[in-house]
Structure 1
């Protein structure tokens, strides 16, 4: 049921990480991040290293800190896009970075590589404007060669695993209006800006190997359209039930600040004086027994050592959501 929006009661949650295995040829992992180093990593405070990894029941993914009880015990797979990757209020099973980490910001990429949780990263156009060519790094010279690379990586996934495709940009065929998930919004008349190599690889996987693709994750195309034309469609359910998810919610970090006794939300830089913390966007995905159950855009306020859920916008749901469970 796309489009359901919920204002959540403020509660502090901790998501305990279940043991999971990432495989080179079929690992599932998500993130779309800001291009600002501090926006992505935040500033580590003294003592964070000692308190950042609470020990909880590893079969449980949502843990209420106040009453020390697990909310539910069924095995779920959680992964997300998130801007503040140092915050331990939430620990997903897998994290996917969809690229555009910075404008060829090598130090930022190194920092992400050092993060100690299951993750997968794909680079975007901002990560290699001039210094790298696909033909040199990967031997890719055309769209057909690129499609074969994608197909070859995905086809190695074990049959009993849930296959999620990670890309920087989405595939062609999902619409050509400016508000479509990969629609051109910067030119008059719109157009389909999806990648034909990804579309071809997905088609090959489904036709030749009968391999289901429940989720395709990407970024690149910003949610807020150019020239003030509104918002982009961020989730599409295909005819064969493949779900396409765009996580490029930009900016992902908004500064909370006070001015003359009032509180406001702004997209000002993180160094703004009188700051009272930040509001950060997460895109959370739940997969249960290989079936995608929920996609939610979640806004979290981060002030000092406290992270609080402020809003949850349900983008897709086919079952009871975590927010509907009694805490």
Structure 2
């Protein structure tokens, strides 16, 4: 039986250090995905992620775009990430046997908006062009292995309530705050192949207006799983005062997703708490 374990780091907002690297090596996933909002352009943090000794795929978020309108700070981060950068690109590796295709970098959600920094690096890109770029990147992925789409903001079309997986929760009325280009790309890709998993963040799990938490997992009628990994803050303390760190976790068995969860780990890599979203594994 073929088993692939993926760790997913939700919006970091600077909460990443040597302890996370050590924890990750103990947890020992086959690969790790980052959904963006790493650290407000912190080059040291980006270098730490780029130097991880395991396969990684990184999407930068709206908080990673940099303060300079030229896009130089954004370009520097992309250069540091090298092959791990997934901006409108296929991230492929020899092992594990999965393909990761990235969406539009630095997305603030809300349909479609290209920041001045992204324009400075990539030039003007229309809504349709962005969708086509994602689709074209998927064309280079092997159809014999699972396909994952990695984005900062999830696609539009998954609900307009504040608690929806991509719903706007910080201002009334609530709206579908997903990305239209990603939704368009999904439709294009599905004309030629299936999509196993769409991973993103941006919309924090804890709702800003009102009590409660948003939906973080959704499976559509065609079997694609959508996972929002943005548990913010991703560091916490248990009742005994021990530090906990969050990763989302996905397991493939023989090329099919068998498990998905949100996990809070202790320093020794034991699981203090797990929210199971899917579990078909025997």
Task: Give the TM-score category using the shorter length.
Answer: 0.7 to 0.9
Distance in 2, Cα, partners of 1:90 & 1:307: 6
- Within a 5 Å distance, the mapping from 1:1-327 to structure 2 comes to 30-36=8-14, 39-43=15-19, 84-87=20-23, 88-131=25-68, 132=71, 133-207=117-191, 209=192, 211-255=193-237, 264-265=240-241, 277-302=242-267, 306-320=268-282
Distance in 2, Cα, partners of 1:286 & 1:29: 9
SS of structure 2 residue aligned to 1:111:
helix
Distance in 2, Cα, partners of 1:236 & 1:218: 12
Query: What is the TM-score when the length of structure 2 is the normalising length?
Result: 0.77
CA-based RMSD of the aligned residues comes to: 2.1
Measured after TM superposition, the shift of residue 135 of structure 1 is: 2.5
For structure 1, the 5+ residue unaligned runs are 1-17, 21-27, 44-83, 257-262, 266-276, 321-327
How many positions carry a matched residue from both structures? 232
Greater Cα offset, 292-301 or 211-220: 292-301
Distance in 2, Cα, partners of 1:315 & 1:151: 28
Distance in 2, Cα, partners of 1:289 & 1:98: 25
Deviation readout 1:14-69 (Å, 9 max, x if unpaired): xxxx899xxxxxxx984224222xx31235xxxxxxxxxxxxxxxxxxxxxxxxxx
Deviation readout 1:253-291 (Å, 9 max, x if unpaired): 1145xxxxxx545xxxxxxxxxxx411112110011221
Q: How has the CA–CA distance of structure 1 residues 310 and 255 changed in structure 2, closer, same or farther, with 3 Å as cutoff?
A: closer
Distance in 1, Cα, partners of 2:257 & 2:145: 13
SS of structure 2 residue aligned to 1:151:
helix
Distance in 2, Cα, partners of 1:185 & 1:117: 35
Runs of 4+ in structure 1 over 3 Å off:
none
SS of structure 2 residue aligned to 1:149:
helix
Structure with higher helix content: 2
Greater Rg over alpha carbons, structure: 1
Distance in 1, Cα, partners of 2:209 & 2:162: 11
Query: What is the TM-score when the length of structure 1 is the normalising length?
Result: 0.67
Distance in 1, Cα, partners of 2:148 & 2:198: 6
Distance in 2, Cα, partners of 1:94 & 1:308: 19
Distance in 1, Cα, partners of 2:7 & 2:127: 24
SS of structure 2 residue aligned to 1:85:
helix
Distance in 2, Cα, partners of 1:19 & 1:195: 28
Deviation readout 1:214-250 (Å, 9 max, x if unpaired): 1000011000000343100000111111110000011
Q: Is the 8 Å Cα contact of residues 7 and 29 (structure 2) preserved in structure 1?
A: no
Distance in 2, Cα, partners of 1:153 & 1:290: 21
SS of structure 2 residue aligned to 1:315:
strand
